[in-house]
Amino acid sequence: MMGDPRHAQPLRRSTLRLPRPDRAWWKHLGAGVLFLLLLFGGWEALARMGFWPRYLVPAFTDVLRALWGTAQSGGLVAGLAASVMRLVLGYGIGLVLGLGLGLWMGRSRIAESTLGSVALGLQALPSVAWLPLALIWFGLSETAITFVVVMGTVFAIAVATSTAIHQTPHTWERAARNLGARGHALLLHLTLPAALPGIAMGMKQGWSFAWRSLIAAEMVYSTVGLGHLLMFGRELNDLPLVMAVMLVIVAVGLAADRLAFGRLEVAVQRRWGVGRRDAKLPA
Amino acid sequence: MTEPRVELRQVSKTYDTQQGHTLALRDVSLRVMPGEIVTILGPSGCGKSTLLNLVAGFEPPEEGEVLIDGQPVESPAPDRLVMFQEGALFPWLRVHDNVAFGLRMQGVGKAERRAQAMEQLKTVGLEQFSHHLLHELSVGMRQRVALARALVMHPRVLLMDEPFAALDAQTRDGLHATLQELWASAGTTTLFVTHNIREAACLGDRVLVMSPRPGTIVAEREVHAERPRHIEDDPVMQVARSLRQELHAAVEAAA
Ligand SMILES: Nc1ncnc2c1ncn2[C@@H]1O[C@H](COP(=O)(O)OP(=O)(O)OP(=O)(O)O)[C@@H](O)[C@H]1O
Ligand SMILES: [Mg+2]
């Protein structure tokens, strides 16, 4: 803390800073890669030993080959694009609605005691259970699928947001009101930033719910998308293709976490000084 | 005759909870003159925080009146700033943004509020830490930030609720010194609540002793020792001794 910190940290907008990758981080990454190599190597060896027929237990290279094949035919790209578009659209709508609903429940006692328990209940409902309803309402359409994704997202984010607001220390609100914060200013400068760690967690959870509900919905009804591709592989009895698509689904989920949500969560926790002070960058 | 800055007239306050009613304050009357520093000394749970909350406007009194410069208190406002025991700073803001929070709520422009915040941080010795995050500061430094955040608003009354209770003796002595310097230069009227007898004697122009719950004021003592005072100065210790007797008598009488 010595020296003149003003020079070390020049005046700038209060951005959410991320820790820089350090040696420990590289080590962490190395261990992860090594583990994956061993895992896939072991799988390959086991499958090639011939205890089981290859069409039931394909080797890792069979899966890679299927992946390459569907990538080249354009089926994978089309499916991936369709799924990601739906995901982004549904998640975006769910996020906006969820934040709005959560803020409302967080700030109004009546909204909390009425909508609160409904939201909590609906959060427990697997969102693919909305699909029959959506199909009746919207027919066999994109809207039906988007609706399911929105339903998967909205309650997770709403519940996390309102919980975070309720857990905000009472003295923070008193201090802010004491310093003259009222109405919108109170919402913008106290309620939201105070709840941000909880909201970030809700956003992350909402994202994974959205992804799951999308794949589930695409498997039941869709003509394009990763979920559809899964079912297509099943109809052809093409297990390598099925596994290849599964890998892609996992990869998309991981990528979103590593590149966006996990980082957001760590950055917020560091800034707020909550959670583990030494929180690591996700590898 | 000048008007008191803070005046409580026969104030009572009851809290209703599921467990029943708690009479927290009973028939409390007091006056604090402009520029005066009044410390309120009382055992834990006697209603000290309740009293400050009423002056701050967080809660309405049940009976009686709470007046600031003759006007009844209606709601919280930056002319009566509370410094909380835990500081209640905002961890998502850097130190200077915490200090500037009240100015921002008043619509003061960015450059102006930054300049004022930096000036105020100098008075508490933290200008070097203006861009730090709160969890990068010690507890004592955080209380200095809280003090700066309140004083930068030039409140008519500063309300301090055991702000140094969690500090070690050395850090607390440092804050006592800073606080007395600030009083000497800014002359901020202050109502300071504590359960520490010597702290009450050290900081107050006048000490009010409260009885255990239901809290009421049972004794009053002026402290004439010269400032700046240290908590172990002889005159302070003498006052503390007689305050101790008065406090004991109040606790015994209630038992
Ligand atoms: N919001 C509340 N609801 C119900 N009862 C309360 C509330 N605030 C305070 N009380 C009760 O009022 C009494 C006085 O509380 P208060 O916090 O004012 O005491 P205090 O003198 O500040 O104590 P301490 O020194 O421990 O901070 C206590 O018995 C407490 O239980
Ligand atoms: Mg208290």
Instruction: Look at chain A and report how many structural domains it folds into.
Output: 1
Q: For residue A249, is it within any domain?
A: yes
Atom number of ligand 1 nearest to Cα B17: 4
Average pLDDT over residues A116-138: 91
What are the pLDDT digits (tens) for B140-151?
Answer: 999 999 999 999
Q: For residue A96, is it within any domain?
A: yes
The alpha carbon of residue A48 and the mean position of all alpha carbons in its chain are separated, in whole angstroms, by 36
**CATH number of the CATH domain containing A176:** 1.10.3720.10
Average pLDDT over residues B73-96: 94
Decide: B212 and B251 in contact? Cβ < 8 Å.
Answer: yes
3-state secondary structure A47-90: HHCCCCCCCCCCCHHHHHHHHHHHHHHCHHHHHHHHHHHHHHHH
Q: Considering CB atoms only, which of A5, A172, A174 is closest to B90? A: A172
Confidence grade of residue A17 (pLDDT, cut at 50, 70, 90): low
Statement: residue B101 has pLDDT above 50: yes
Ligand nearest to the CA of B213: 1
Query: Which residue segment(s) compose the domain that A90 sits in?
Result: 60-68+75-272
CB atoms under 10 Å from CB of B233, counted, come to 16
Contact A274 B91 (CB under 8 A): yes
d(CA B89, CA B138): 13
d(CA B117, CA A247): 54
The predicted pLDDT at position A2 comes to 41
d(CA B67, CA B208): 18
Statement: residue A265 has pLDDT above 90: no
The predicted pLDDT at position B107 comes to 95
Q: For residue A141, is it within any domain?
A: yes
Q: Which residues of B touch A181 (CB under 8 A)?
A: 101, 105
Q: For residue A19, is it within any domain?
A: no
Is the minimum CB–CB distance between B96 and chain A shorter than 8 Å? Answer: no
Is the minimum CB–CB distance between B101 and chain A shorter than 8 Å? Answer: yes
Confidence grade of residue A3 (pLDDT, cut at 50, 70, 90): very low
Q: For residue A118, is it within any domain?
A: yes
Distance B47 CA to ligand 2 centre (A): 7
Query: Is the model's pTM score more than 0.95?
Result: no
Q: For residue A34, is it within any domain?
A: no
Q: For residue A42, is it within any domain?
A: no
- Compute the mean pLDDT over every residue in chain B, rounded to the nearest whole number: 94
Question: Phi first, then psi: what are they for B20, rounded to 5°?
Answer: 125, -165
Distance B91 CA to ligand 1 centre (A): 26
Contacts of A125 (CB under 8 A, 6+ apart): none
Q: Considering CB atoms only, which of B90, B105, B129 is closest to A180? A: B105
Statement: residue A113 has pLDDT above 90: no
Statement: residue A6 has pLDDT above 50: no
Q: In this prediction, what percent of chain B has a pLDDT beyond 90?
A: 91
Contact B129 A177 (CB under 8 A): no
Statement: residue A281 has pLDDT above 60: no
Q: Considering CB atoms only, which of A5, A14, A185 is closest to B129? A: A5
Please work out whether the CB of residue B213 comes within 6 Å of at least one atom of ligand 1: yes
Judge residue A40's burial from the number of C-beta atoms within 10 Å of its C-beta, 0-12 exposed, 13-18 middle, 19 or more buried. Answer: middle
Confidence grade of residue A263 (pLDDT, cut at 50, 70, 90): confident
Contacts of B155 (CB under 8 A, 6+ apart): B78, B79, B80, B81, B188
What are the pLDDT digits (tens) for B190-226?
Answer: 999 999 999 999 999 999 999 998 899 999 999 999 9
Average pLDDT over residues B7-24: 93
The predicted pLDDT at position A10 comes to 41
Please work out whether the CB of residue B195 comes within 6 Å of at least one atom of ligand 1: yes
Average pLDDT over residues B102-110: 96
Position of tokens 């009101």?
A: A177
Decide: B11 and B66 in contact? Cβ < 8 Å.
Answer: yes
Amino acid letter, B215: G
The alpha carbon of residue B161 and the mean position of all alpha carbons in its chain are separated, in whole angstroms, by 5
Q: For residue A33, is it within any domain?
A: no
More confident site: A146 or A8 = A146
Rounded to whole angstroms, the maximal C-alpha distance in chain A is: 75
The predicted pLDDT at position A221 comes to 84
Decide: B140 and B97 in contact? Cβ < 8 Å.
Answer: no
Contacts of B165 (CB under 8 A, 6+ apart): B85, B194, B195, B196
Position of tokens 């800055």?
A: B5
Nearest C-alpha neighbor of A198 from the set A226, A221, A164, A229 = A164
